[in-house]
Amino acid sequence: MAVTFIMAMVLAAGTQGAADKVDVAYDALSEGQSKAAIAQLEPAKASDDPAHLINLAAAYAAEGRYAEARAAYERAAYAERFELETANGDWVDSRVLARKALAQLDRSAVDTRMASMEQ
């Protein structure tokens, strides 16, 4: 759970232009309110905006909805390419960001499975 929370905190706020067009729920995610972020983002679930998809995926992951998170990250990894500003101020290619998030999601899933096997 800690890994997915950190992931949501560093994921894209989006470019100024993308944020103007699509609600990317940046405030809700940065405040750790993943359910509120999902409520904001799901109505435009069919969006191909990578900032929207990445933040929706982060919110899903924070809620333990890993299959939905994976699907949104995969869509973002093949969506139109944009430079997105992350919460820490870095600018990152949206496809690179989505693929890194997918890798982190996979590592988190392995860690969770390993922890459950140890119990």
Q: Could you state, in order of their start, the residue ranges of all structural domains in the chain?
A: 2-114
| pTM of the predicted structure, to 2 decimals | 0.77
Strand partners, 93: 83
pLDDT recorded at residue 89: 85
3-state secondary structure of 84: strand
- Would you state the pLDDT for residue 72? 95
How do the pLDDT tens digits run along the chain, 119 residues long? 344 433 433 454 544 444 445 578 988 998 999 999 999 999 987 889 999 999 999 999 999 999 999 999 999 999 999 998 888 888 999 999 999 999 999 887 665 555 556 66
- Predicted pLDDT at 111: 59
pLDDT for position 119:
61
CB atoms within 10 A of CB 53: 28
Show the CA angle centred on residue 78, arms to residues 97 and 98, nearest 5°.
Answer: 15
Q: CB neighbours (10 Å) of residue 113?
A: 10
